[in-house]
């Protein structure tokens, strides 16, 4: 394959301007070259083409998330980190992908029984009851915040239950996590979250200690007794896994469902179609996954010289894959900007691909289906208060909604017992 001259484009993917126009920027970059060099943040490749993103993600030997942190002298941020976000010094690892391959494989084996279809089928009644209970609290008022009162708590409570954290503490962990992703790194919300991070880490270690003495049927109990090559996880590794699970569990599904509900309000015909034909939620879920691409990027490091998209990538180079860029590549998706619930095939990369593909994908789909059905069947005429609706700002890794107040025709509570 011929190697082209390096294509360098200088852009700040952390700036609010860039993030507000992330779709246009991804499209412009892809049209320039699916693999471009950005000299910012110590220099990194930004990959927006579907084929190129899939190539990187499938080859976890050449491109590994294991050596991600570059330190720049005199700077108080660590670049780039697995999340592609500069993280403050001292902030722990934030993903299981940073574990050594054999530890990573052991962690995936440990998580699978909690996340594969049989487990999802077993906890679905709990999710349904939780969703019904939360709507029951607001249905008679005819007004609520769809994010704060519904799409936020339901996945968070399931996450607490799966991990083995107290369900009643869902707000504590969800609010903390959201503060770290929904606002820019200079915002007071983010700064406050960083200041209480040591306390949160301490709490998690305490719960882990408790589970070590008294194991139960949850992920945390399995994590504290896991041995790989005769070694237990140390506290840093344990926190990295918990961080990943809490983040994956309390944030992404909330974002997917909130953004889908927001979109449907502006498209009443589609909303009506889904109310009348709930079975269409199955393909709609896949299309909303593609179209929202709430988990936008993953950053890896190149371990040996190679060529990608005609560009020469050198050992040690940082490579940021844009799942969002891939999911809007017109070479694979006709009319990529349009949300087409009948799109078929829909080979989106919203859950990633390769060794680090999301293990929580069945959980996420089930949560989406239950929450969408609950809203569409009980308060399907909701109207969004756009003026007071807020989206995430300042995060090139995750996209989502902070709040979405709505009004709707009041209904009757079903009267289910509180399930948590
Ligand atoms: C709409 C929902 C979700 C989306 C779009 C999503 C997307 C992704 C993507 C793209 C990755 C690959 C790595 C990366 O880019 O960060 C990933 C990894 C991961 N996700 Fe999800 N996720 C979702 C829900 C969940 C849920 C509900 C859980 C847990 C209950 C979860 C747990 C994880 C974990 C543990 C990893 C790390 C896998 C590894 O490194 O081997 N995710 N997710």
**Which tens digits make up the pLDDT trace of 362-377?**
999 999 999 999 999 9
User: Is it the case that residue 330 has pLDDT exceeding 70?
Assistant: yes
Which residue would you say has higher pLDDT here, 130 or 82? 130
Q: Which residue has the tokens 């756009």?
A: 386
Pocket test for ligand 1, best of 110, 253, 300, 360 (most atoms within 8 A of CB): 360
> How many domains does the chain divide into?
1
- Is residue 82 within 8 A of residue 98, CB to CB? The reply is yes
Residue 173 falls inside a structural domain: yes
**Mean pLDDT of the region 296-303:** 88
Neighbours of 304 (CB within 10 A): 11
Determine the pLDDT at residue 82: 47
**Mean pLDDT of the region 299-327:** 92
Determine the pLDDT at residue 90: 55
Q: What angle do helix axes 281-292 and 361-378 make, rounded to 10 degrees?
A: 110
Residue 103 falls inside a structural domain: yes
Determine the pLDDT at residue 41: 78
Question: Which residue's CA is the nearest one to ligand 1's atom 18?
Answer: 358
CA angle 58, 64, 68 (to 5 degrees): 145
Secondary structure E strands in 85-152: 87-88, 143-145
Residue 151 falls inside a structural domain: yes
Determine the pLDDT at residue 133: 98
Judged by DSSP in three states, 335 sits in coil
In tens, the pLDDT along 9-36 reads 999 988 889 999 999 999 999 999 999 9
**What is the C-alpha to C-alpha distance for residues 302 and 47, in angstroms, rounded to an integer?**
13
User: Is it the case that residue 98 has pLDDT exceeding 80?
Assistant: no
Which stretches within 322-384 are classed as H helix? 323-327, 361-378
Q: Strand pairing partners for 104?
A: none
Residue 8 falls inside a structural domain: no
**Residue 251 per-residue DSSP state:** I
In tens, the pLDDT along 266-276 reads 999 999 999 99
* Of the candidates 397, 346, 318, 306, the residue with the CA atom closest to the CA atom of residue 50: 346
Q: Which residue has the tokens 């809007």?
A: 328
- pTM equals 0.94
User: Is it the case that residue 92 has pLDDT exceeding 60?
Assistant: no
Question: Residues lining ligand 1, CB < 6 A?
Answer: 95-97, 108, 159, 244-245, 248-249, 252-253, 256, 294-295, 298, 323, 350-352, 356, 358-360, 363-364
Chain-wide mean pLDDT for the chain? 91
Determine the pLDDT at residue 65: 79
pLDDT band, residue 194 (cuts 50/70/90): confident
**What is the C-alpha to C-alpha distance for residues 320 and 40, in angstroms, rounded to an integer?**
12
In tens, the pLDDT along 141-181 reads 999 999 999 999 999 999 999 999 999 999 999 999 999 88
Determine the pLDDT at residue 78: 53
Q: Give the Å distance between the CA of 71 and the centre of ligand 1.
A: 26
pLDDT band, residue 43 (cuts 50/70/90): confident
Structure token digits, residue 115: 């996340």
Determine the pLDDT at residue 139: 98
* Of the candidates 371, 286, 356, the residue with the CA atom closest to the CA atom of residue 56: 356
Structure token digits, residue 250: 């309390």
pLDDT band, residue 1 (cuts 50/70/90): low
Q: Give the Å distance between the CA of 350 and the centre of ligand 1.
A: 9
**Mean pLDDT of the region 92-102:** 76
Question: Which residue's CA is the nearest one to ligand 1's atom 20?
Answer: 358
Residue 97 falls inside a structural domain: yes
Q: Give the Å distance between the CA of 249 and the centre of ligand 1.
A: 8
Q: Which of 93-97, 160-164, 304-308, 388-392 has the lowest mean pLDDT?
A: 93-97
CATH number at residue 20: 1.10.630.10
Residue 183 falls inside a structural domain: yes
Which is it for strands 143-145 and 297-302: parallel, antiparallel or unpaired? unpaired
Which stretches within 317-360 are classed as H helix? 323-327
Range of the structural domain that residue 91 is part of: 16-407
Answer left, alpha or beta for residue 267, where phi above 0 means left and psi between -120 and 50 means alpha. Answer: beta
Residue 1 falls inside a structural domain: no
What is the H or E stretch that residue 332 is in? none
Question: Which residue's CA is the nearest one to ligand 1's atom 16?
Answer: 298
The dihedral through the CA atoms of 61, 63, 66, 70 has a sign that is positive
> What is the rounded (10 degree) CA torsion for 357, 363, 365, 370?
-170
Q: Give the Å distance between the CA of 359 and the centre of ligand 1.
A: 6
Q: Strand pairing partners for 232?
A: 227
Closest ligand 1 atom to Cα of 256: 1
Q: Which residue has the tokens 């393909």?
A: 283
Question: Which residue's CA is the nearest one to ligand 1's atom 6?
Answer: 351
User: Is it the case that residue 58 has pLDDT exceeding 60?
Assistant: yes
Pocket test for ligand 1, best of 65, 248, 286 (most atoms within 8 A of CB): 248
Residue 417 falls inside a structural domain: no
Which is it for strands 311-313 and 318-322: parallel, antiparallel or unpaired? unpaired
* Of the candidates 407, 406, 413, the residue with the CA atom closest to the CA atom of residue 133: 413
């Amino acid at each position: 394959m011929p190697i082209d001259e390096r294509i360098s484009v200088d852009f700040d993917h952390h700036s609010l301007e860039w993030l507000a126009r992330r779709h246009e920027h991804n499209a412009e970059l892809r049209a320039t070259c699916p693999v471009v060099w950005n000299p910012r943040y110590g220099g990194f490749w930004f990959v927006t083409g579907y084929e190129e993103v899939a190539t990187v993600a499938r080859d976890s030997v050449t491109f590994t998330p294991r050596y991600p942190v570059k330190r720049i002298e005199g700077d108080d941020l660590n670049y780039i980190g697995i999340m592609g976000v500069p993280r403050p010094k001292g902030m722990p690892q934030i993903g299981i992908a940073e574990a050594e391959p054999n530890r990573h494989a052991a962690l995936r084996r440990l998580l699978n029984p909690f996340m594969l279809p049989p487990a999802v089928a077993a906890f679905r009644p709990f999710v349904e009851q939780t969703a019904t209970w939360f709507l029951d609290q607001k249905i008679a008022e005819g007004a609520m915040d769809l994010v704060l009162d519904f799409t936020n708590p339901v996945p968070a409570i399931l996450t607490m239950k799966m991990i083995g954290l107290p369900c009643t503490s869902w707000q504590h962990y969800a609010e903390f996590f959201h503060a770290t992703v929904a606002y820019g790194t200079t915002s007071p919300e983010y700064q406050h979250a960083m200041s209480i991070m040591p306390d949160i880490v301490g709490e998690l270690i305490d719960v882990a200690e408790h589970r070590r003495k008294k194991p139960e049927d949850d992920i945390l109990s399995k994590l504290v007794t896991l041995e790989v090559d005769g070694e237990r996880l140390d506290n840093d590794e344990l926190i990295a896994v918990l961080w990943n699970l809490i983040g994956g569990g309390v944030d992404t599904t909330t974002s997917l469902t909130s953004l889908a509900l927001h979109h449907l309000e502006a498209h009443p015909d589609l909303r009506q179609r889904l109310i009348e034909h709930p079975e269409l939620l199955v393909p709609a879920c896949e299309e909303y996954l593609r179209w929202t691409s709430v988990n936008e990027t993953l950053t890896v490091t190149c371990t040996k010289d190679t060529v990608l998209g005609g560009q020469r990538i050198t050992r040690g180079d940082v490579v940021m894959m844009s799942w969002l860029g891939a999911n809007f590549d017109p070479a694979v998706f006709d009319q990529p900007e349009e949300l087409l619930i009948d799109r078929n095939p829909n080979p989106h990369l919203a859950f990633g691909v390769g060794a680090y593909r999301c293990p929580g994908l069945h959980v996420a789909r089930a949560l989406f289906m239950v929450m969408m059905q609950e809203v569409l069947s009980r308060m399907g005429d909701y109207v969004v208060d756009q003026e007071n609706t807020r989206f995430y700002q300042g995060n090139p890794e995750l996209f989502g909604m902070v709040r979405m107040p709505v009004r709707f025709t009041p209904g009757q509570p079903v009267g289910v017992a509180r399930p948590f």
